[in-house]
Structure 1
Amino acid sequence: MGSEDVLKGASALASYNVVLQVAFRLLTFFLNAFTLRFVSKELIGVVNVRLMLLYSTLVFLSREAFRRACLSGGGEQANWRQNINLLWLTFPLGCAWAVLLVGVWAFVLQAPDPQAIPNYLPAVCLFCWAALQELLAEPLWVLAHTHMLVQLKVIAESLAMVAKCIVTMVMVVFSPVWGLYIFAAAQCVYSGFLVLCYIVYFTRFLGSAEADKKGFPLQNITETLPRRTHGESVFNWKLARLTWSFFKQSFLKQILTEGERYVMTFLNVLNFGEQGVYDIINNLGSMVARFLFLPIEESFYVFFTKVLERGRSVHQQKREEVAMAADVLECLLKLVLVIGLIIAVFGQAYAQLALDIYGGDLLSSGAGPSLLRFYSSYVLLLAVNGVTECFTFALMSNEEVDRYNFVMLGMSVCFLLLSYWLTGLFGGVGFILANCCNMLLRIAHSTAFMHRYFSSSEYVPLSGLRPHPALLLSLGLSYSLTALSESVFCCDGGWLLRLVHIAVGGACLLGVMATVFVTETRLVNFIRSQLLPRYSKKRT
């Protein structure tokens, strides 16, 4: 697969992933708004913080290292049998993690009041079972991602999420007394649908004319099961060593990713009700990061690993591929910077209104608006970090990955200490401030790597982090106008004044977008040619 084909595939994958994540976040958005009317914020805190932390920890620690390693080496068709054998280790590893984590969640952590929130232990076991179900699809997920089967992920995850939402809404309305069982059953349905969709797709796809046309390395669904080939070792030991390097790093990355939930869960700095409110604000604030930035990061990680060779300097790569990678990296940095700045600016004046519409006084009173305002600024750092780490992790050598583990260890310790200290001072806002400090350190490390990598060449992709002065001016004017509008029209004067406030924000946003269109022509051309699905289809 040539570099242009890889770029087209990564662009299409990012586009479809963005659409998918938008749909997911909207479904989750409305689902949370719906369930808030039927269940307590304490129950939401237990599910969304305690139990979903269990789920994400088990899944992430079991598969993340294998994903990153096998995506780096997945282009070698001769090694697919060994790669699949390696990927199947995720399930027994997940079983081992499940035993350990169930013990911690059930017998070490403080359990919720059984009178207010019953059935905690069965819910812990069911969430672990759902996570183990999802791990069964891991070899198929890597196969699909490596060969740019972009529609599969969209279909599978869409069906799974719709099924989860239907189960949750029906059970919340008709059997609210089931409490935690509702959310545990919905999570099991989600992971089960996900696995089923992948199995059905590959059963029909493998051996078909389309698979032969793509040069797919497997012919039958049974070939995705682990087996030993005569004359070959069971695993690709080079990838196994890389997996081990990523595995050591995955502990620290998980702490950095879910750090505030670990602090809330293990140190009890917030009660379950406060955790529920914080989690709702966190989900709202991170919506754009999840449905836009994360798909871009995942898709272009594949692009960079295929176009550039891991561990080699810029002069050891093909010149035309370095030029393409530098150009794409610069445009991606500019894209996420612009989006992050817009969210940071407009989030200040519209945080309280958004929470009032979404959850009423439960969210718009108290610390909710302050949490969302701070989170809007944090999204800017999330955006930049996603792309910088995407490139850095795709190009690091095994030795550099190992060294970075020590860096992440220091970051993890600092983050946990900062979270505990700042939360004691500022409550939930302290978590966001600690995350900001952590993200700044990670960005500094990644940009330093990128600067060293391109320093001996004529390419300067980090210039993508310099916004045009006209854009900064338009953002500054928008901030002033929307802040004035909030003080005059929002949020106690009725819907008519609120609509005026929204109209002011819409006009300012149009002005900012017009400024981007005029001043960032290179970025506009990149979006038009690479990221919009209809243009990507034309190019193919």
Structure 2
Amino acid sequence: MGSQEVLGQAARLASSGLLLQVLFRLITFVLNAFILRFLSKEIVGIVNVRLTLLYSTTTFLAREAFRRACLSGGAQRDWSQTLNLLWLTVPLGIFWSSCLGWVWLQLLEVPDPDVVPYYGTGVLFFGLSAVVELLGEPFWVLAQAHMFVKLKVLAESMSVILRSVLTALLVLWLPHWGLYIFSLAQLLYTTVLVLCYAIYLIQLLRSPESAKQLTLPVSRVTQLLPSISRSRAFVNWKEAGLAWSFFKQSFLKQILTEGERYVMTFLNVLNFGDQGVYDIVNNLGSLVARLIFQPVEESFYLFFAKVLEREKDASLQKQDDVAVAAAVLESLLKLALLTGLTMTVFGFAYSQLALDIYGGAMLSSGSGTISPCWHCHPRF
């Protein structure tokens, strides 16, 4: 596959992801704004900071390095070994979910059950949802590596919308359920996400067109499962070593991404109510980054991984590919710069209005009005 073709696929993946995410984010924006008017700040803080941190930390420790290592592999590789490596994320997820769940229940401050009921159930369900999502990791990597443009966006958007709808209905009808509401919604989200990938790939393998077009490196559904062969190693040890390297490098990204949640969770610098307000403001302030930068990062990471060879000097690679990669990188940097400048210019003036529309008086009064102004700087 030539660099221009890969660039076209990456651009389509990013643009379609951007457009669909804007559409679905608008729907979830309205649903979340509705939900916030029926919740206490303490419940929002526990769900958005404490439990979400448990979920994101478990998935990060179990899959992030494997995901990047397997996406960095070349076209000439044994996909059965790659899939075996990806299935190792499931036992790792069970291990990390159990360890972190114990920390969340035994070492961290437990909220008042009268204010935030069913905290233990919430920890259990969020840890379980992380393990459920890891069951779809082989399908996700396979889809990403072959640039199935709309599958990822549709699967994630459908999952998010269903989670928001279920949360809104339960908050409206059964508000006394407390964290049961968000636990069930999170489990629904991960289940739907995994099923979307699994059903799509299984149907693709069963269709006669897939055999003719050679879309996937596997031809049967059973080849998606772990397999042991005496003629080869269970995993590609080069990919496994690359995964370990990525694991060490990814810690900085995780700290930068979730650093404030770790501080609030382990140092107790804010009460649960203030944590909830801060996290809502933080999510609203990072909306542009998640809508624009995240699809671009995920799509063009694949582009650079396919066009350029890792650990090989630029002078030894195809100069046409190097020139295309350099031009694309320049355009992406310009996009990031212009987006950051736009957010800096307009963010200060309209942040309080956005908070008032999104969360009402709970966000637009008090300390919540100061935070979004400072969130304009990181976007730049």
TM range (shorter): over 0.9
Q: Using the TM superposition, give the Cα deviation of residue 339 of structure 1 relative to its aligned residue in structure 2, in angstroms.
A: 1.1
2:373 aligned with 1:373, yes or no? Answer: yes
Q: How does 1:423-438 map to 2 (within 5 A)?
A: none
CA distance in 1, matches of 2:162, 2:93: 24
Where does residue 107 of structure 1 map in the other structure? 106
Distance 1:254 1:24, change over 3 A: farther
Does 2:200 correspond to 1:201? Answer: yes
Aligned to 2:40: 40
CA shift at 1:163, angstroms?
Answer: 1.6
Quote the Cα distance in structure 2 between the aligned partners of 1:214 and 1:330. 34
Structure 2 alignment gaps of length 5 or more: none
Task: Name the residue aligned to 2:6.
Answer: 6
**Bigger-Rg structure (1/2):** 1
Q: Secondary structure at the match of 2:346?
A: helix
| Identity in percent | 57
Give, in angstroms, the shift of residue 209 of structure 1: 4.1
Aligned counterparts, 1:236-251, within 5 A: 236-251=236-251
**Is the CA contact (8 Å cut-off) linking 1:61 and 1:251 kept in structure 2?**
no
TM-score by length of 2: 0.97
Amino acid of the structure 2 residue aligned with 1:21: Q
CA offset digits 1:88-110 (Å, max 9, x no partner): 00000001101100100011000
C-alpha spacing 1:337/1:108, structure 2 compared with 1 (3 Å): same
Shift in Å, 1:43: 0.6
Aligned AA for 1:136?
A: L
Cα distance in 2 between the residues matched to 1:357 and 1:197:
33
Offset, 1:42 = 0.9
- Identify which range, 267-276 or 19-28, moves more after superposition: 19-28
Match in the other structure for 1:128: 127
Supply the AA of the counterpart residue of 2:2.
G
How big is each residue's C-alpha offset from its partner over 1:177-235, in whole Å with a ceiling of 9 and x where there is no partner?
00100000000000001111111111110153442314421112211100023411111
Q: Which residue of 2 aligns with 1:428?
A: none
The 5 Å alignment of 1:95-174 reads 95-174=94-173
Query: Which moved further from structure 2: 298-307 or 312-321?
Result: 312-321
Assess if the C-alpha contact under 8 Å between 2:31 and 2:165 holds in 1: no
Residue 278 of structure 1 is matched in structure 2 by 278
Q: What is the 5 A alignment of 1:290-369?
A: 290-369=290-369
| 2:120 paired with 1:87 | no
Q: Deviations over 1:485-521 (max 9, x none)?
A: xxxxxxxxxxxxxxxxxxxxxxxxxxxxxxxxxxxxx
Q: CA deviation at 1:176?
A: 0.3
Report the 3-state secondary structure (helix = DSSP H, G, I; strand = E; otherwise coil) of the residue aligned with 1:312: coil
Q: Conserved in 1, the CA contact under 8 Å of 2:65 and 2:250?
A: yes
CA contact 1:49–1:276 (8 Å) conserved in 2:
yes
Q: Does the Cα contact within 8 Å between 2:74 and 2:306 map onto a contact in 1? A: no
Letter in 1 for 2:53: L
| Gap change, CA 1:71 and 1:98, over 3 Å in 2 | same
Residues 308 and 317, structure 1, Cα contact 8 Å, conserved in 2: yes
Residue 252 of structure 1: CA displacement? Answer: 3.6
Return the TM-score normalized by structure 1.
Answer: 0.68
Tell me if the contact between 2:51 and 2:123 (Cα under 8 Å) persists in the aligned partners: yes
**How many Å apart are 1:372 and its aligned residue?**
0.5
Q: Are residues 226 and 258 of structure 1, via their aligned partners in 2, closer, same or farther at CA, if it must alter by over 3 Å?
A: same
Residue 284 of structure 1 aligns to which amino acid in structure 2?
Answer: L
CA–CA distance in structure 1, aligned partners of residues 128 and 64 of structure 2: 18
| Equivalent in the alignment of 2:218 | 218
- RMSD (Å) for aligned C-alpha atoms: 1.3
Where does residue 415 of structure 1 map in the other structure? none
Could you tell me how far 1:169 is from its partner in structure 2?
Answer: 0.9
Q: Report how far residue 29 of structure 1 moved.
A: 2.1
Structure 2 vs 1, CA of residues 33 and 370 (structure 1 numbering), >3 Å: closer, same or farther?
Answer: same
- Whether the 8 Å CA contact 1:203–1:221 is kept in 2: the answer is yes
In the TM superposition, residue 4 of structure 1 has moved relative to its aligned partner by: 1.4
Give the counterpart letter for 2:265 in structure 1: T
Q: How does 1:467-478 map to 2 (within 5 A)?
A: none
Q: Residue 111 of structure 1: SS of its match in structure 2?
A: coil
CA displacement at 1:268 relative to structure 2? 0.3
- Give the aligned partner of residue 416 of structure 1: none
User: How many angstroms does 1:166 deviate by?
Assistant: 1.7
Q: Is the Cα–Cα contact under 8 Å of residues 21 and 157 in structure 2 kept in the other structure?
A: no
Gaps of 5+ in 1: 381-540
